Structure 1
């Protein structure tokens, strides 16, 4: 994406996350922030009950993740000088992205027609909560509402006997999925423009991303003509496969998730490796169909086998196994996973204080090379640099600041 300029007028994580992905891929992403308050997400000090603030530090993951690699300009679009700078930025842009609601876009004169009147060839991307059409089109939305609640995720993962709905597993869960989706849409639009000369208006909503993510369940419900039943999960495995489904627990309290979708194929390997070779020839499990018919009994044996081993012992027994399995990890373990590290899924970044930090990078790699990333900008950090690129001299910079047009 080297040579591609993205101008971003957006806040929080949905939509800004796409800029982080595009920056990972080499694009020049200029983040427009309100001249006084900046991105509203800079003011969030707690999310999902976790304190985001760290004393004597400029590094806040809630901002760094979706804004790494960008440049920031503080701009007041409601001043003549700020408007002139905005129009210069749009003229220089390949893509304009925003998640401002329609009423705000119209008020600030940054809607499709406004931006296209400045640069007819710009690709215009708008991220919304509920999609641009319908009665709720002008309404806003966050991932916990439009993505998690509205599209069926929360209901699907909450056991029927629970007296409250389960929350998203982490902050910005749907936002980050949406950001990757937007980045793919922008890449496709750039390809279309390069191939045909035609530009695009791109729409991505949190509701649409949520429905796509949950499409297996939604499609099944539409086919059956009603809500899907809530089945109480098996204690171990699934009702028809002891080698896939609910996890098994080791003797030291770790969970193992088996993902062996062909029980007849992998049953002999499991029994051999875990020390119960006699079960291979047991008539109850002699064929795949028999294993399926006796899945609950077979799952009991698997629970005994795994429950007799520590995680380290299980790992040793399963070295080189054909069947798929994974240990259930927490976020800290995931961030330090040797396989993730070997593939460059976590990258080093130097924060504004000069301290070494780490961030998860976009999951797409080109030519087997992980992206090299830089930190997120401080508020309005690059205002002067960007203005000089646009041809403003020092006197003009000073006047813009006196007028309150830039920060």
Structure 2
């Protein structure tokens, strides 16, 4: 049975936290969506008439009630749920003052402008800190606030290449399809959003003791290097750069995909006990006693010999037969799903990882927007899904009214193009 999120009315863990979101594309919006999911009031500032860049990054596009494609790119919906969209032209003096007024009472501001880009508008950290010493100001850039690359624009693909991630991803040189390869999603952006949200939560906790906010400097390059994890640790220990190995794990064996009778299957054996149980189930118990394969270190060192035995064995059964054989033996083995098959998977459906959110905005042709559920499961202060990714400027009047801007002033702001 799929969870019914619509009945969840408990206040979120971050209820009462006000966030001003001046970010766009993915890393910043991913960070602020996480805060919004946890209950923060996130006000997303977008350019009038244009909005976040990702509103136009299509196809694919959202579909209307009749199944026809609209001009709204689905990319935007991946990272802007539970936010309120306000259109403000920050190059306009009156819009800048509105943002300063809101920042004076906000808890968090997230931005991903180029280094120094907001200083000209009086929206940089030093300017806003003077108005609100409690403000937590998170800057997300490609290369950080200082250093020789600080003023360079940084995108996920560039950083995947620069940090070494692409050089360890893909098939080895000389193999079919060999060469550096990017990940299938913008993983550096996503990790950066997660690191940024963690830093913000830490800063909120620190503020409880000190009463003061702080500036958070988050860089895609820093994150890209950090997420190399064991691969970076291996280099630091040996001085040797790791190479590409396709789907083979550099430190575990067998831990990769295998061709079966009908498709491919993933075998992810992480310890000697699992290997022994696999060998027993596969009818080859002697392999687990062979000194070449008895330990993981031995299996890694003798990987070629092990694969010469495993590859023909794995072709004797279908993928489903291998999965059925091993699933009750505590031997990790599973399918390599398409995205469509993943969403149809019984466990994915049970966990409610697809969330359909109604959206009612004047003139909008899209009645429901489907998003992926947050993986955060808090027992007392659970995630709430109270707002679909908004139409551009959907909440401008609502939010400006809360900021004390009356109808006449809003009309004047519209007339001059400030909102």
TM range (shorter): 0.7 to 0.9
Cα shift readout 1:324-346 (whole Å, capped 9, x = no counterpart): 23322222223333323333433
The equivalent residue for 2:259 is: 249
- Structure 2 CA distance for aligned equivalents of residues 126 and 282 of structure 1: 55
The equivalent residue for 1:138 is: 151
The equivalent residue for 1:325 is: 333
Query: Is 1:204 aligned to residue 221 of structure 2?
Result: no
The one of 15, 24, 32 aligned to 1:2: 15
CA 1:372 to 1:60, structure 2 compared with 1: closer, same or farther past 3 Å? farther
Counterpart contact for 1:348–1:357, Cα < 8 Å: yes
For the residue of structure 2 that corresponds to 1:97, the secondary structure is strand
The one of 187, 200, 207 aligned to 1:193: 207
For the residue of structure 2 that corresponds to 1:168, the secondary structure is coil
The equivalent residue for 2:310 is: 302
Cα shift readout 1:2-46 (whole Å, capped 9, x = no counterpart): 111110111111211111111111111000112242222223235
- Structure 2 CA distance for aligned equivalents of residues 45 and 289 of structure 1: 46
CA 1:385 to 1:92, structure 2 compared with 1: closer, same or farther past 3 Å? same
- Displacement after TM superposition at 1:356 (Å): 4.0
Counterpart contact for 1:250–1:311, Cα < 8 Å: yes
The equivalent residue for 2:376 is: 364
Query: Is 1:23 aligned to residue 33 of structure 2?
Result: no
CA 1:285 to 1:78, structure 2 compared with 1: closer, same or farther past 3 Å? closer
- Structure 2 CA distance for aligned equivalents of residues 378 and 195 of structure 1: 39
- Displacement after TM superposition at 1:232 (Å): 5.7
- Displacement after TM superposition at 1:174 (Å): 1.8
Single out whichever of 169-178 and 17-26 deviates more from structure 2. Answer: 169-178
- Displacement after TM superposition at 1:127 (Å): 0.3
CA 1:42 to 1:295, structure 2 compared with 1: closer, same or farther past 3 Å? closer
For the residue of structure 2 that corresponds to 1:266, the secondary structure is helix
The equivalent residue for 2:417 is: 404
For residues 125-164 of structure 1, what are the structure 2 equivalents within 5 Å? 125-146=138-159, 148-158=160-170, 159-161=172-174
Please report the RMSD computed on the Cα atoms of aligned residues, expressed in angstroms. Answer: 2.9
The one of 347, 355, 358 aligned to 1:347: 355
Structure 1 runs not aligned, ≥5 long = none
In the alignment of these two chains, the number of paired residues is 394
The equivalent residue for 2:54 is: 41
Structure 2 runs not aligned, ≥5 long = 1-13
Superposition TM-score, scaled by structure 1 size: 0.86
Single out whichever of 127-136 and 116-125 deviates more from structure 2. Answer: 116-125
- Displacement after TM superposition at 1:285 (Å): 7.4
